[in-house]
Chain A
Amino acid sequence: MPIIFRMPYDKELEIIANELAYWLDERERVKIFNEFIFIIGEGKWKEVFITTNENASLILENTMISPYTIGLTIGEIKNDYLLISLSGGQLIAKKSEKKVIINQTAEQLFLYSRDIHSSSILSVDKTLQIGDKVLVMNEDDEFLGIGKIELLMNDLAKNENKDKTAIKNLIDLGWYLRKGK
């Protein structure tokens, strides 16, 4: 199925803004909207890309051009939500407060698709609730992937929880080795 690349509709821009609002404060969101051009690639899936002005002009002004992909995919729009991709996570990781920092042992396991136990967590945004998404970082504050909170963050320290899954692995950088080759 050919992918049609176009500028986002207002509704899609709203979906992108809503997802960014979950992760970033207003100042950072404005910076992203000012810095990048958003493009929608619509085929079997509806993906959101960021790219340069020059690329956007090239594909929008030249009907002969039918690309396979453009710039960086920051996520997929599904059921009126933007599901952030690995690249999207990397884009916002340094600017977001919604993050968890895990130890070195858990880092290796997480990169092999494993979930994160309470005892591996070094620090976390305590406002996060069960079901919330979170950026998973290593001790050097480097992005490793995206997880979902499965345990109340205030209960992490309880001894009975130390071997429980606190954060479920949604996607991790190991994908580049497992699927991206």
Chain B
Amino acid sequence: MVSDNAKELAGKYGYLEATIERFIQLFGKAETIKMLEAYEKPPKQTIRVNTLKINSLELERKLSKKGFILTPIDWFDDGFTIENEPLPIGATTEYLAGYYFIQSKASWLPSLILNPSKNDLVIDMAAAPGGKATHLAQLMENKGSLLCFDISRERMKSLRSNLSRCGIINSICFRMDSREINNLNLKVDKILLDAPCSGEGLMALDYNRRKSRDITDIERMMQLQNDLLEVGLRALKKNGILVYSTCSTAPEENERVIDNALEKYSIEVLDTNYQQFEPGLIAAFGNEYHHSLRKANRLYPQINGTEGFFVCKVKLKEDIL
């Protein structure tokens, strides 16, 4: 049943009525309006400095000299918001030289939360086009092993190009379905699963999603996300860490996926140590989720100036055979 409020807002902002009804049930009418207003404008572009090649101060100096206006990010030393660009930020010599990666600030969180070290064996389960993979390699100081998976031939080309541009030597790329990772008989220390999702949090960047995606897409993605998370957990060593993220605000693609895994496997949700962001949900649409999901984080355009985003850190307590 769609409320009159949902019909009105759906008409005004160009969404499916059922989508708005879900937002209202989840966030309330006032917050939904704030979110829809925020989705009208794309977030400001942000860049992550590739510290394997240059430090933040030096890059800021170079780009400022060319007329770019950059502002620092309060929670991440190696990131900047682009306030003004005299030429496209993706067409500078500095970009081509691999000094930075154009990446939304929400997308920095999964790699930062996973925080791999140079001695770790790490998997990025959905690595292309390489924003998070290059960040992981950076955190690993370009040492150890970073295994990158993606199934798409086209996306694999852009992954390879970005890894090359950023000077990454510790990666091994596999063009295969991540659901087959367990066939490699590997047990790793850390896994990043930035799961394929409905992209519900990307409405500001892709207007088509407002009417082209509905609950059936969310449910279809949830099944894939459950499968991928199970595969990821099976590939972890005991006490290994997995960070799960999506660019969706739908609880079915986020808290519910982790909640399902909490019921099936010996895992625990850990603090992300980014308490400045909103906590995960422990109830939505009449369903209750494990209380520890409060330790997950949600980002919203109206609060954080980012796309809608979810991130959660879990530890495998007992090896899955």
Identify the A interface with B (CB < 8 A): 36, 50-52, 54-55, 58-59, 62, 64-73, 86-87, 90, 107, 111, 138, 140, 142-144, 173-174, 176-177, 179-181
Contacts and interface: CB of A to CB of B under 8 A. Distances in A.
A112 to B, nearest CB: 10
Contacts of B143: 52, 54
A70 B173 contact: yes
Contact of B169 (A71, A142, A180): A71
B168 A72 contact: yes
Interface residues of B, number: 34
Contact of A70 (B90, B97, B167, B171): B171
Contact of A111 (B93, B163, B168): B93
Given A70-B171, A70-B172, A72-B169, A181 B93 contact: no
Contact of B184 (A62, A107, A140): A62
Interface in B102-129: 121
Contact of B173 (A52, A67, A111): A67
A181 B90 CA distance: 11
Which of A55, A70, A140 neighbours the largest number of chain B CB atoms within 10 Å of its CB?
A: A55
Contact of A58 (B62, B96, B172): B172
A103 to B, nearest CB: 13
A176 B169 contact: no
Contacts of B142: 52
A180 B184 contact: no
Contacts of B184: 62, 64-65
B41 interface: no
Interface stretch (B26-34, B154-162, B198-206, B250-258): B154-162
Given A71-B170, A111-B96, A181 B183 contact: no
Given A54-B145, A64-B185, A143 B97 contact: yes
Contacts of A174: 96
A4 B143 CA distance: 23
Contact of A68 (B162, B167, B175, B183): B175
B169 A52 contact: yes
B238 interface: no
Contacts of B62: 140
